[in-house]
Structure 1
Amino acid sequence: MRGLVIGASGRTGKLVIDELRHRGHQVTALVRNPDSMNGYDVDIVKGTPTNLDDVRAAFKYGHADFVIVTLSAPRASDSPFAAPISPPRLMADCNDNITTAMKEFGVSKIVILQALGVGASWDNMSCVLQLLMGKSNMRFQYDDHNHTDREVRQKGVTFVFARPARLVDTDVMTVREWANDGKGIPLMASCSRKSVANFLVDAAMETKFDNTAPVISN
């Protein structure tokens, strides 16, 4: 099978590529800077998901069986609370371009990395995190994810919105799904990037999570 990865040059995106290649799948990556993928066994299409024609070029390269999106909005620094330096609808507009091209090329499945607190999972996030996310610069990214949630659901494609707890760089691979949009998830829950990458690939391969938004942690 072939997967198209959007956001491939990011930390989680590269782990997704590693997992796909480990399982023997072909990978197309749409990236702005091809040099960022040196050492990765992928088919590279230069471009950006903000441009529909670039997205179409990625689909034309080879028939994709599914799409995995690990985009995140650029910030002024590595701090998650730094000011955003991207358009307020970056992820929503990119995913609109992706799903538009999916329908044109007959690709039905998209898996999108989001976060705990997006959509219906907001009510199950602790009040401490709600205050932190709602009053900091993180609110702009949550708004963008929420636009994506609403709009992708209307596009008529099969979707999975993966909503992990706080991402950490550990080797833990066991993943727990929290039912009812994350009800009962602990305040300090976290999820390793490696386990998230594995989960995203599983979600693309299987039908278990189709048209749902699973909340996960380690």
Structure 2
Amino acid sequence: MRVLVIGGNGQTGRLVIDEALQRGHKITALIRNPSALPAKEGLTIVKGTPLEPSNIESAFNAVQGDIPTAVIVTLASPQVKGTRVMTNAHENLIAAMERHGVSKIATLSSFGVGSSFPNITVIMRFAISRTSFKHLFEDHNQVDMTLKKSGVKFVLFRAARLTQAKKAPVQFFGDDGKGLGVFAGLGGDLEG
């Protein structure tokens, strides 16, 4: 299976790429600076941004006869008022997915987005409502709604925090994240 990874140059994106390659998948990574990601067998790197539809199209067509069958997004959203980086990227990705008959997308989101907001700590609720985190979460909330309305099959990974922890089993807490806990996170290795 070939997977298109968006945001593959960041810490989490690199973990996702490495894990997928170890599991025998082929990866196409759309990144702004191709020289920042080391070449690996099974990895096709395409220069570009998901904010530009033609770059996404190039990524889908990068390997003739081997179009990605799923998309994984590990982008970070800037903490800037009015940002729509994640939302615009997802709108562009969904349009390309529809053109290519791809129906699966997995997106790194955050605990506190959408219906998980009531289950985060009071300190995080304060930070989200009173600091620049607010802008990041507004963008992520819009992505949540965009995916739900799109008709594509999606998974939102709502990690509470990202760490370089040891491998642990994947746990599912539902859309609201009830029972997740404040110290939950995504470790450096994934099982499941």
Q: TM-score, normalised by structure 1?
A: 0.80
- State how far apart, in whole Å, the 2-side matches of 1:37 and 1:28 are: 12
Q: SS state of the match for residue 145, structure 2?
A: helix
Aligned pair count reads: 188
Q: SS state of the match for residue 71, structure 1?
A: coil
Contact 1:171 1:194 in 2 (8 A): yes
Q: 2:188 — aligned with what?
A: 194
Contact 1:3 1:27 in 2 (8 A): yes
- State how far apart, in whole Å, the 1-side matches of 2:174 and 2:94 are: 27
- State how far apart, in whole Å, the 1-side matches of 2:135 and 2:23 are: 36
**Structure 1 residues not aligned, in runs of 5+:** 75-83, 203-218
Matches within 5 A, 1:2-81: 2-41=2-41, 42-62=43-63, 63-74=67-78
The Cα of 1:156 is off from its aligned counterpart by 1.5
Contact 1:33 1:46 in 2 (8 A): yes
| 2:93 pairs with 1:89 | no
- State how far apart, in whole Å, the 2-side matches of 1:72 and 1:154 are: 22
The Cα of 1:142 is off from its aligned counterpart by 0.4
CA deviation string 1:133-163 (max 9, x = no partner): 2211111110000011111221221111111
Q: 1:185 — aligned with what?
A: 180
Q: 1:152 — aligned with what?
A: 147
**Structure 2 residues not aligned, in runs of 5+:** none
| 2:118 pairs with 1:123 | yes
Q: SS state of the match for residue 19, structure 2?
A: helix
**CA separation of 1:23/1:86 partners in 2, compared to 1, >3 Å: closer, same or farther?**
farther
**CA separation of 1:40/1:86 partners in 2, compared to 1, >3 Å: closer, same or farther?**
farther
The range that moved more, 129-138 or 101-110, is 129-138
Contact 1:168 1:190 in 2 (8 A): no
The Cα of 1:183 is off from its aligned counterpart by 1.6
- State how far apart, in whole Å, the 2-side matches of 1:32 and 1:86 are: 23
Larger strand percent: 1
Of all paired residues, the percent bearing the same amino acid is 37
CA deviation string 1:1-39 (max 9, x = no partner): 100000000100000010111011110000111101124
The Cα of 1:85 is off from its aligned counterpart by 5.5
Q: SS state of the match for residue 46, structure 2?
A: strand
Runs (4+) off by over 4 Å:
none
- State how far apart, in whole Å, the 1-side matches of 2:151 and 2:39 are: 36
Q: SS state of the match for residue 161, structure 1?
A: strand
The Cα of 1:86 is off from its aligned counterpart by 8.6
Contact 2:81 2:132 in 1 (8 A): no
- State how far apart, in whole Å, the 1-side matches of 2:185 and 2:53 are: 32
